[in-house]
Amino acid sequence: MTRLITKWILYFALLVSFSYMFGGEAAIGKMLLMAAVFAVLNIILRPIISVIAGGLGIVSFGIPILFINLPTLYLADAISGNVLSFNFWTIFLLSILMFIADFLHIKIFKNYRPMGAR
């Protein structure tokens, strides 16, 4: 649960800051919904897509792993009511930044255990 909440906060901060930087509309409620949908989809779909792209990722030095967030972003955008009003390349850049944020999130919280857990 902690992982989902921290990813939700991380994605929300990325979406809002990216929206302000690139002149998109930043309705806070819609951005919260988009971040929540993206966090849930990322936790559910990322392992499935990683397994499918795994063999290709080994051959091509991990480049397909960068593109996992792109279809997930489009799916989360469609589910949450077309929050993102950017072109393809801007969303592609956002997906790369989310990949970097996920990587850092994994490195930071790798050994995290909630209080009381053994």
Q: Which residue has the tokens 């990683």?
A: 50
| b/e map 14-45, b = 16+ CB within 10 Å | bbbebbeeeebeeeeebbbbbbbbbbebbeee
Q: What tens-digit pLDDT sequence spans the chain (118 residues)? A: 677 788 888 888 888 888 888 876 667 888 888 888 888 888 888 778 777 776 666 676 666 666 778 888 888 888 888 887 788 888 888 888 888 888 888 788 776 665 555 5
CA angle 82, 7, 40 (to 5 degrees): 55
pTM for this prediction: 0.76
